[in-house]
Structure 1
């Protein structure tokens, strides 16, 4: 049930079959010279759509912006503060809860450390504020990495590499502009670097050359299966 296309009557009827909503978070962030800036958003939203085909589930419109630190110097990255990100999740959950939803999955296609921690912090505050809700916060990357064992060939693949290039090749092939070179950046331990792009010029972490649309289709389906498992777990008890 994609909320963005529903009428208020359809939303009300949906509440009779599901009290669970999937909230996809993404980013406007560089993904090398070959993938779109909305790669993270696309991946998170597509997985929600696939999961909703398999189990009754509300899917909220995606949140396109995230907190992006490591790529902040790369052209096209538009970052928001962690405080703004936290407030977005909290306000969205409060509003959906007021309409009768009780189980919330915040899945983020952007896996940056500060971004993920902000969403986790917001989730922890929400479950204290609203004792009747269940809440899950998970990164799409973690699920894809887990599900992709035996599919992905690139060791340490993390950003705009084999996994993400395969995913966009499958779901949005018209947005893939060739293939960037493999890249494995190394930042100095403990030092906060101003010019992050000097340590990560190409914006890739992995090997896009090993990507295929077939791998992307398999990964999307497997991650959707993981989301379905998460939905069933949330709905099975009060956490």
Structure 2
């Protein structure tokens, strides 16, 4: 299997692969509360696994994951959808009953980190950079997409930003947090890091605000009755489900990257033909 992890490659291997396929994957995600049953690095770990598998299909290298992400305070309506009163000050998934806080960075630091890393990769000679974002916060997505657009439009490098969750046949994206899907993915990636015994017995409902485990529908304004988790990780998680989800994400992202590379190659040939005809 083709090597893809930048930190494990020798200089000659990196240079050879860059000449063959000048693509670099850049992974972002915060160290964030994902319930008591999942590790804080869930978002970047999932994104990194997907990036490595995608790079093995498309070519290119994957930089070590940057465990950096940002968040904002929850707006009153979202808080109500999660079972709160609406006037609380809650940032991201740092709910009051959590045993510890997440490590979020201000979005300007995330933007600076992304910009510096892209500039360094351009200096290395990479011409296509794929930002793999493992965190669904609105300001995280907008920040990374803004940086990607900035570099691409300035013609410095082609930067594309992809998210690890897939849209279904109706165009909906699963933004569930620490529910069965993320739990299943972590089971497939690192089963020793998952401990469902840290959650209460199955007969006890999981309340959003008590565990900071939240269904995608709740974030989209459609909370479940009594604000209880429906995509219950205790009941609906499995290694098989996680592996299937990872494979689907890898295929989708690899397809997008290949389409981008094919388009660039075609544009390059057209430019060469144009230059030749003008001589």
TM bin (shorter chain): 0.7 to 0.9
Q: Unaligned regions of 5+ residues in structure 1, if any?
A: 150-154, 186-199
Give 2:168's aligned residue: 146
Pick the structure with greater CA Rg: 2
TM-score by length of 1: 0.83
CA-CA distance at 1:55 after TM superposition:
2.6
The residue that corresponds to 1:37 in the other structure is 40
The yes-or-no answer on 1:222 pairing with 2:258 is no
| CA apart distance, 1:14 | 1.0
Show the counterpart of 2:229.
none
Asked if the contact 1:52–1:59 (Cα under 8 Å) also holds between the matched residues in 2, the reply is yes
Distance 1:156 1:39, change over 3 A: closer
SS in 2 for 1:201: helix
**Cα displacement string for residues 166-211 of structure 1 (whole angstroms, at most 9, x for unaligned residues):** 00111111011116466564xxxxxxxxxxxxxx220101321211
Judging changes above 3 Å, is the alpha-carbon distance between structure 1 residues 11 and 86 closer, same or farther for their aligned structure 2 residues?
Answer: same
Q: What does the per-residue CA deviation read over 1:83-121, in whole Å, with 9 as the maximum and x for residues that have no partner? A: 010111111111101111111111111111111111111
Are residue 160 (structure 1) and residue 178 (structure 2) matched?
Answer: yes
For residue 171 of structure 1, the aligned residue among 162, 180, 189 is 189
Q: Is the 8 A contact 1:28 1:76 kept in 2?
A: no
Q: 1:204 aligns with which of 213, 223, 247?
A: 213
1:136 to 144, 160, 163: 160
Greater fraction of residues in helix: 2
Runs of 4+ in 1 over 6 A off after TM superposition: none
Structure 2 runs not aligned, ≥5 long: 72-90, 216-231, 268-279
Q: Is the 8 A contact 1:22 1:104 kept in 2?
A: yes
Q: Do structure 1's residue 110 and structure 2's residue 110 form an aligned pair?
A: no
CA distance in 2, matches of 1:213, 1:229: 24
Q: Aligned-pair RMSD on alpha carbons?
A: 2.2
- Residues 68 and 105, structure 2, Cα contact 8 Å, conserved in 1: yes
Q: 1:125 aligns with which of 147, 150, 156?
A: 150
8 Å contact from structure 1 (residues 72, 79) kept in 2: no
SS at match of 1:53: helix
Q: CA deviation at 1:156?
A: 6.3
Q: Distance in 1 between matches of 2:108 and 2:163?
A: 19
State which of 1, 4, 10 in structure 2 corresponds to 1:7.
Answer: 10
Aligned ranges 1:48-127 → 2 under 5 Å: 48-68=51-71, 69-73=91-95, 74=98, 75-127=100-152
Distance 1:12 1:124 in 2: 27
